[in-house]
Structure 1
Amino acid sequence: MGGDVASADRGADKQSDVKNGAKEAQQILAGAEAGARNPRSWIASWVITLMCLAWSGYQLFIAFRPIDSHVARAWHLAFAMALAFLLYPSYKPHRPPFWIRGLRKVLPLRSGRSIITRIPLQDIVLAVVGVTAALYIWWDYNQLIMRQGLPNTTDIVLGTILIVLLLEAARRSLGPALATLAALFILYTIGGPYLPEVLRHRGVPLDFIISDMYLTTTGIFGVPLGVSTDFVFLFVLFGSLLDKAGGGKYFIDVAFSALGTYRGGPAKAAVLASGLTGLVSGSSIANTVTTGTFTIPLMKKVGLPPYKAAAIEVAASTNGQLMPPIMGAAAFIMAEILGIPYLDVVRAALLPALISYLALFYVVHMEALKLGVAALPRELLPLFKRTFLRGIHFLIPLAVLIIYLVVLRRSPVTAVLLAIESLVVIMLIQRPITLYFSLTLARRSGTLTQDVDMTVELRKAFVTGLMDVWQGLIGGARNMISVGVATATAGIIVGVVTITGLVGRFITLIDTISMGNVVLMLIFTAMTCLILGMGMPTTANYIIMATLTAPVIVTLGGDAGLVFPLIAAHLFVFYFGILADDTPPVGLAAYAGAAIARSDPIRTGIQGFTYDLRTAILPFIFLFNNELLMIDGVTETGAIIWLDNPVRIIWVFFSGLIAMFAFASFLQGHLVVHCNILERLILLAVAASTFKAAVIESHLPLGPTTIQAIGISAYFGMYAWQKWRVKRRTPPAAAA
C-alpha cells in the first residue's frame, strides 16, 4: 500500500514537473515573440485585443485592396511599435535596472505593482508618440512627395523620434543585440571621417541620415518592412489560425501514430511533427514549445536522457525554418532582394531542407541504437488511419496554399488569402458538423439519455468556432510584433550600407582577414552569422548578413575563379543564422527545450548544435555543388540556369542524402554498431567524394556520377559488413 502511495506521489511530481517546464517554456516564448505582459486591467486588455484585431483586419484589407506601399508600411510599423511598448516591459521583472533598484531603497514604493500585470504611463506615452511618428508618413504623404529631398524641421524631429523609439522597441522585443548593432551603424555613418582607413568614408550629415532613413523606402520603410507588410503577416496569421483550429495538435498526433512504434519512436515523431509545424510556423522557439510539450516527456519516458530529448526537439524545430514555403519569412525577403520569383527561392531551398530533415531522422535512429531506446507499445498510441482521417480536413488549407503557389503559380498573397479563407470556413463548421453527427448517431443507437436541443448545441459549437477565429487573429498579430520591429530596425542597417557603400569596404576587410582564401572567408562569414544570430531573430540576422556578406561571398569567390550564384550565397548566410537558435550560450530555442525537459540549457544547446553539424556542412556543399539547389549553371549576366531533368534531380537528391547519412555516421561514430577509426574515416571519405565528386574527377578518369556511385556502394557495403559482423557474433539462441 505504501509503495502504491509513493509511486502515485512520484507520478504526480513528474506530472507537476512537466507542467512547470511547459509553463516556463511558454514564458520564454511569450517574452521572445508574443509579449510577456499580461495586464490585469480589463480596459488595457481590451485595448490590446482590439489593436491586435485591427492590425489583422488591416492586413487582410490591404491584401484585398492594395494601397500605396509607403503608407501601408507606415501603418504596419505603427501597429508593431504600439503593441511592442504595450506588451513588452522596459526591463525584466527579476532584473530591474540599477536606477530602479536605487529608488526602491530610497522611496517607499508600493508593492505588488508588477510591470507584467500593469502598463506604466510612460509606456503608453511612448506607444502614442511612436504611432504618431510612424503615421506622420500617412498624414502628410502628399506634402512629403512635393518636398522630397528637402526635409523641413518637423520631418527631422519626427524622424529622430521614430529612430530612437524604434531602437527602444527593438531592445524590448528582441533583446539588446539588434538595437545596439543598428545604433553602431548610425554612429558609423556620422563618424566615418574619423575611422581607420579600411572603414573610412566622408561622413554623412545628420539631417540627410534622418531624411534617408525616415522619408524614403531605402531605410526603415525599405524592402524588409515591405515584405513583412505584404507577405509575412498573412503567412504568420495563417499559421496562428491553423494552430487555433487544432492543426498543430493534429500534426503531432499523426506523427506519433505513424512513428511511435519504431525504435526511438517519440524522437522520430518529434522530428516529423516539427517538420510539419515548420511548414507554417517559421519560428524555432514557437515550434519547440508547441511540439516539445508533447514529445520531450515521451522521449524521456522511453529512455533518452533529458538533455538529449530536448536537443532533438530543438534541432528538429530549428530546422523547421529551413522548410519551404515560409522559411522564417526569409523566402519572401530573399525573393525581393534578389529580384527573382518566390517559387525560385522555394525550388532552390527544397532539396537541402529535405536532406537535412531526413538526416536528422537518421541521427535520431543512431542515438536510439546507441542508447538501446525502446519503441512505444501500440496500445499507448492512437491508430494511424483513424488519427489521419479524423483531422484530414486540416490538409485542405495546406493543399490550397501549395496548389495555388506551385501548380497554378499565383502570387503568394493570393495563395495565402485563399488558404486563410478555406481555413476560416473549416474553423466555423468543423465543430457543428462533428457535433451534429455525434448527436445523430447517439440518438439512433439510444445512448443519448437526455433530451438535447440540436439547434442550441449547434449554435454553441458555431460560436466556439468563431472564438477560435477571434483568438487566431489576435495570436497572429501578437506573433508579428517582433517580426515587424525586427524588419524595420534591420532596415536602418540596410540604409546605412546603402548610404556609405560599406559593402566595398567589407569586401576589402574580409579579403584581408582571410588572406584571399575562399574557405577561410566562408568560415569567417559563418562564424559572423552565428555570433550575430545569438542575439537577434533569424529574419533580422538574414537581412543584415545578406546585405553585408552575401555580396562578399560572390565577389571573393569570383576573384578566386569560382562562380557562386547569388541565391546560394544568400542561403549560406540564412542557414548559419538559423543554427544560432540552438547555439550556446544564447540560443533561445535551447532554453525553451531545456525548460520542458528540466535539463541544463547550455548542455542542451551544445548537444543540439552537435546534431545540427550535419546541417552546418550543407551550405558549404551547395556553394561548391550547385546541383543541390537544382541549379545547372549561371549565365554571363548572372541569370540562373535551372536543372530540369527529373532523373538527374532524383539522383542528386539520393546521392546527397546518402552522403549526409555517411557524414552523420562519421559524427556519431555509429552505423549498425560502433565504428572504429578506420571505418569513420571511410565514411568521411564517402561523404566528401559523393558531395563533391568534381574534386576527384579532376584527378581520376572517372565521371562524377561514377564517383558518386562508388561512394554510395562503399556506404552500403560497410552497412552490410557491419550487419554480417553483428549476425556472426550473435549466438543462435539470442538470434532466435
Structure 2
Amino acid sequence: METNQSNTLSAEEQQKLLEKYDPEAGTRKLTGIVGKIVFIGLLTFSLFQLYTAIFGIFTAQIQRTIHLGFALTLIFLLFPANRKSKKTHKLQVTWYDGLLALLSIGVGLYWPIFFEKLVMSVGRLTTLDFIVGLIAILLVLEATRRAVGLPITIIAIVFLLYGYFGPYMPGFLSHRGLSLERLVQTMFFTTEGILGTPLAVSSTFIFLFLLFGAFLVKTGVGQYFNDLAVSIAGRSTGGPAKVAIFSSALQGTISGSSVANVVTSGSFTIPMMKKLGYKREFAGAVEAAASTGGQLMPPIMGAAAFLMVEFIGNGITYWDIAKSAAIPALLYFTGIWIMTHFEAKRIGLRGLTKEEMPNRKEVLKKLYLLSPILAVIVLLMSGVIVTHAALYAILLAIIVGFINKDTRMGPKKFVLALVDGARSALGVAAATAAAGIIVGIVTKTGLGLKLANGLIDLAGGYLIPTLMLTMVAAIVLGMGSPTTANYVITSTIAAPAIILLGVPDLSAHLFVFYFGIIADITPPVALAAFAAAGVAGGEPLRTGINSAKLAIAAFIIPYIFVLSPQLLMIDTTWTELLWVIATALSGMIAIGASIIGFWMRKLNILERAISLIGGLLLIYPEGISDTVGLIIFLGVFASQVFFNRRDKGMSLKA
C-alpha cells in the first residue's frame, strides 16, 4: 500500500499533540525505582479489577475506595502538578507528589480497614474521619485537575461552594446549606458523593472495557481498522475522507476519547485527504467530526452507556440503550459521509488509485480481528452480565491474537496490555469521582429540580424552547470534559428539565448526551477540532466551524428523537422502523447537499433552502411530514438530474 504514509505524524508528534489537547496523555516518562513502582502499581490495579470481576466485587465502599486509592496514587506519581513546567522538572516525582501519593494510599485503605466501625457509627464522624474525608475531597479535586483538566474541577468546586453557601444563594437557588462536616460526611462516608454511582460504574464495567480496548490494541485492531476502511472506501470519490469516517467509527468502539481518536486515526487519514486535494481545515474537520461521533457509536459509546443504565434505572438494560442509539449514530455518520462525498464532487476529487490501495484479499483474511467486538454485541444482546461479557471479550481478544504470529500475545505483551488498560482508566476514575461530588450536591440540595423548573420557566413552559436551552446548557457543561464525566454532569443538571415536560427518560438522557459530546467540536472550546487542526496544520477555529457543519446531524437528530421516539426504536414495528430509516437517510442526503451547496451540480440559495426544509421533514418520522419531505426531495432530485443533463449536453455541443 502506497498511501504516502511518510507524511503521517510520528509517534512522538502524536504524543505531543495528545499532551496539548488531552490532559490524560500528559504523563511523566518515569524510569528507575519510581518507574518500576508505578509499573507494578498499574499492573496490580488491573489484577485487582480482574479478580473482583471474576470472583465477585467487594462491598460497595470497599470496592470503590480501593479503586479510587489506586487511581489517585498513580495519578500523583504519573501526572505533574504543572504541565507547563520545564521538562527536566516534569520528569521528576517531587516530594509533594510522593506525599500526595501516600495520602491517597491512606484514603484508599481507610474504608477497608475501618469498615465495621464506619458502618456502626451511622454517620457520626470522629475527628480522624473528618480529616480523612476532607483530604479525600481535596485529593480528588487535585487529581482531577492534573489528569482530566480544569473545567470539570472548577464545576465540582463551584458545586461544593454552592452546597456550603446555600442560604446566601439568590432566588430559587437558595437552600438550607450544608455544614463542612455534613459535606465531608456526604462526599466520602455515603454512596451519594465521591463513592457514588459514577465511581461504582468506573470500578466495575468501565475499567473492564478499557482493559478490553488495551488488549484489542495489542492484537493490532487499531491499525486493522485503518486498513479495512481503506479497502472498503478508498477507491470511492474522495476516498480518504470516507476512510476517516469509517475508521473513526470503528475506533470509537474501543476509544474513550475524541481527542485520542483524532490523533491516532487522524495521523493516518488527514495526510491522505490533504494529498488528494481537501483543504486543511476541511480534512481536519472530517476527522474531528468522525472521531467525536465515535463516542456516540454503540456498543461502547465512550463508556457512558454503562452509566446511563444506572442513572435511568426503571429496568432499562444496556442493550436497550445500545439498540436505541444505533439509528441516530447511523444517521450521524451517514451525514458526514454524504457531505464529504458532495464536497469531493464539488471540487472534483478522485479516490485512491489501485496502487495506493492495500491488498483487499489480505485485509479481508484478517476479519477475524473484529470477532471480539462482535462478541461483545452478541453477548450483550443475549442478556449476559456486562462484566462477564467484557471478560469473555478480553479472553477472545487474546485467543484471536494467537492466530497471527505478529499479534501473538506472549507474557510480556499480556502484562503490557494490563498496564496500558490501568493507565487509560486513571483519568476516568478521577473524572467519575469528581462527577460524584456534583451528583452528591445535586441530590442533597435538590438543585436538579430547581434548575429544571428554572429552565422551564425561562422557556415559558414550552418544549422546544426548553430543548434549546437544555442544548446550550449541555454544550457549555460538556466543554473540556471527558465522555463519562460529561454525561454525568449533563444528565444530572440538564436532563431533568425536559423529563419534567413528559419526555421519556431514555430520550432525555440521549438528548443531553449528544450535545455534551459534540461540545468537543463546537467552537469556541472544540478540543477535538483543535487537535485535528494540529494534525492538519490548519486554522483551529475554522476547523471547528467546519466540524460543526459536518456534524449537523448531531444538532438535529436529538430534537427528532425527543419529539418522535420511533427513531430510538421505541414502540415501533419493523415496517415502521425500515420506513423511518429510509426517510431519515433520504433526509440526510438533502441536508448534506444543502450544507455543501452541491448535489449533482451546484445548488443556488433557493435550492439549498428547499433541500434543507425537505431534509428536515424527512428526518422527522411522521406521515404528513414524510410525504411533504419526499415530494420536495424528489422535486429537487429531478431538477438536479434535468439541469445536469442539460449542462452536459451543452458542453458536448460546445
Q: Which residue of 1 aligns with 2:17?
A: 25
Specify whether residues 623 and 237 from structure 1 end up closer, same or farther in structure 2 by C-alpha distance, changes over 3 A only.
Answer: same
- Aligned mates of 1:17, 1:130 — CA distance in 2: 37
- Aligned mates of 1:237, 1:246 — CA distance in 2: 15
Specify whether residues 673 and 513 from structure 1 end up closer, same or farther in structure 2 by C-alpha distance, changes over 3 A only.
Answer: same
Q: Which residue of 1 aligns with 2:447?
A: 502
Q: Which residue of 1 aligns with 2:549?
A: 610
- Among residues 64, 71, 75, which one is paired with 2:62 in the alignment? 71
Q: Which residue of 2 aligns with 1:619?
A: 558
- The one-letter code matched in structure 1 to 2:19 is Q
CA shift, 1:467, in A, is: 2.8
- Aligned mates of 1:423, 1:538 — CA distance in 2: 24
Q: Which residue of 2 aligns with 1:583?
A: 522
- Aligned mates of 1:367, 1:49 — CA distance in 2: 48
**1:399 and 2:374 correspond:** yes
User: Aligned to 2:207, what secondary structure does the other structure show?
Assistant: helix
- Among residues 571, 594, 597, which one is paired with 2:510 in the alignment? 571
Native 8 Å contact 2:160 2:441 kept in 1: yes
Q: Which residue of 2 aligns with 1:291?
A: 265
**1:38 and 2:29 correspond:** yes
Specify whether residues 21 and 718 from structure 1 end up closer, same or farther in structure 2 by C-alpha distance, changes over 3 A only.
Answer: farther
- Aligned mates of 2:368, 2:75 — CA distance in 1: 35
CA shift, 1:417, in A, is: 0.6
TM-score normalised to structure 2 length: 0.95
- Among residues 174, 177, 187, which one is paired with 2:148 in the alignment? 174
Native 8 Å contact 2:474 2:494 kept in 1: no
Q: Report which stretch shifted further, 493-502 or 114-123.
A: 114-123
Q: Which residue of 2 aligns with 1:217?
A: 191
Larger Rg: 1
- The one-letter code matched in structure 2 to 1:353 is A
Q: Which residue of 1 aligns with 2:403?
A: 430
- The one-letter code matched in structure 1 to 2:341 is H
Structure 1 segment 444-593 matched on structure 2, within 5 A: 465-555=410-500, 557=501, 563-593=502-532
- Among residues 150, 155, 165, which one is paired with 1:191 in the alignment? 165
Write out per-residue CA displacement over residues 141-186 of structure 1, whole angstroms, 9 at most, x where no aligned residue. 1111111221211111100000011101111111111111111111
Native 8 Å contact 2:580 2:621 kept in 1: no
Q: Report which stretch shifted further, 680-689 or 707-716.
A: 707-716
Q: Which residue of 1 aligns with 2:342?
A: 366
- Aligned mates of 1:467, 1:720 — CA distance in 2: 62
**1:343 and 2:282 correspond:** no
- Among residues 605, 628, 639, which one is paired with 1:721 in the alignment? 639
User: Aligned to 1:631, what secondary structure does the other structure show?
Assistant: coil
User: Aligned to 2:403, what secondary structure does the other structure show?
Assistant: helix
CA shift, 1:431, in A, is: 4.2
Which ranges of structure 2 fall in alignment gaps of 5 or more residues?
none
CA shift, 1:363, in A, is: 1.1
Native 8 Å contact 2:288 2:547 kept in 1: yes
Q: Report which stretch shifted further, 306-315 or 278-287.
A: 278-287
User: Aligned to 1:671, what secondary structure does the other structure show?
Assistant: coil
CA shift, 1:710, in A, is: 4.5
- Aligned mates of 1:498, 1:113 — CA distance in 2: 43
- Aligned mates of 1:297, 1:735 — CA distance in 2: 40
Native 8 Å contact 2:339 2:595 kept in 1: no
- The one-letter code matched in structure 1 to 2:475 is L
CA shift, 1:592, in A, is: 2.0
Q: Which residue of 2 aligns with 1:103?
A: none
Specify whether residues 130 and 361 from structure 1 end up closer, same or farther in structure 2 by C-alpha distance, changes over 3 A only.
Answer: same
User: Aligned to 1:179, what secondary structure does the other structure show?
Assistant: helix
User: Aligned to 2:436, what secondary structure does the other structure show?
Assistant: helix
Q: Which residue of 2 aligns with 1:51?
A: 41
- Aligned mates of 2:397, 2:472 — CA distance in 1: 41
- Aligned mates of 1:56, 1:416 — CA distance in 2: 14
Q: Which residue of 1 aligns with 2:614?
A: 686
CA shift, 1:232, in A, is: 0.6
Q: Report which stretch shifted further, 483-492 or 683-692.
A: 683-692
- Aligned mates of 1:19, 1:537 — CA distance in 2: 23
Q: Which residue of 2 aligns with 1:384?
A: 360
User: Aligned to 2:173, what secondary structure does the other structure show?
Assistant: coil
Specify whether residues 707 and 509 from structure 1 end up closer, same or farther in structure 2 by C-alpha distance, changes over 3 A only.
Answer: closer
Native 8 Å contact 1:534 1:587 kept in 2: yes
- The one-letter code matched in structure 1 to 2:426 is I
Native 8 Å contact 2:18 2:26 kept in 1: no
Native 8 Å contact 2:271 2:536 kept in 1: yes
Native 8 Å contact 1:33 1:478 kept in 2: no
Native 8 Å contact 1:431 1:465 kept in 2: no
- Aligned mates of 1:472, 1:734 — CA distance in 2: 61
CA shift, 1:584, in A, is: 2.6
Q: Which residue of 1 aligns with 2:328?
A: 352
- The one-letter code matched in structure 1 to 2:277 is G
CA shift, 1:681, in A, is: 2.3
**1:253 and 2:244 correspond:** no
- Among residues 216, 223, 241, which one is paired with 1:242 in the alignment? 216
- Aligned mates of 1:384, 1:317 — CA distance in 2: 24
Specify whether residues 713 and 243 from structure 1 end up closer, same or farther in structure 2 by C-alpha distance, changes over 3 A only.
Answer: farther
- Aligned mates of 1:707, 1:521 — CA distance in 2: 23
User: Aligned to 2:476, what secondary structure does the other structure show?
Assistant: helix
CA shift, 1:55, in A, is: 1.1
User: Aligned to 1:430, what secondary structure does the other structure show?
Assistant: coil
- Aligned mates of 1:630, 1:287 — CA distance in 2: 28
CA shift, 1:280, in A, is: 2.0
Q: Which residue of 2 aligns with 1:697?
A: none
- Aligned mates of 1:723, 1:419 — CA distance in 2: 49
Native 8 Å contact 1:264 1:375 kept in 2: yes
Native 8 Å contact 2:23 2:146 kept in 1: no
- The one-letter code matched in structure 2 to 1:686 is G
Identity across aligned pairs (percent)?
38
- Among residues 654, 661, 665, which one is paired with 2:589 in the alignment? 661
Q: Which residue of 2 aligns with 1:86?
A: 77
Specify whether residues 469 and 591 from structure 1 end up closer, same or farther in structure 2 by C-alpha distance, changes over 3 A only.
Answer: farther
Write out per-residue CA displacement over residues 659-692 of structure 1, whole angstroms, 9 at most, x where no aligned residue. 2222222222222222122212221221232233
- The one-letter code matched in structure 2 to 1:430 is I
Q: Which residue of 1 aligns with 2:115?
A: 141
Native 8 Å contact 1:18 1:297 kept in 2: no
Q: What's the RMSD between the two structures over aligned residues?
A: 2.1
Q: Which residue of 2 aligns with 1:458?
A: none
CA shift, 1:709, in A, is: 4.0
CA shift, 1:21, in A, is: 4.8
- Aligned mates of 1:393, 1:630 — CA distance in 2: 30
CA shift, 1:733, in A, is: 7.7
Write out per-residue CA displacement over residues 253-272 of structure 1, whole angstroms, 9 at most, x where no aligned residue. 01001111111100001100
Write out per-residue CA displacement over residues 225-275 of structure 1, whole angstroms, 9 at most, x where no aligned residue. 111111011111111111121001011101001111111100001100011
State the number of aligned residues. 648
CA shift, 1:325, in A, is: 1.1
User: Aligned to 2:172, what secondary structure does the other structure show?
Assistant: coil
CA shift, 1:88, in A, is: 1.2
Native 8 Å contact 2:338 2:589 kept in 1: yes
- Aligned mates of 1:176, 1:126 — CA distance in 2: 19
CA shift, 1:68, in A, is: 1.5
CA shift, 1:607, in A, is: 1.3
User: Aligned to 2:89, what secondary structure does the other structure show?
Assistant: coil
CA shift, 1:603, in A, is: 1.9
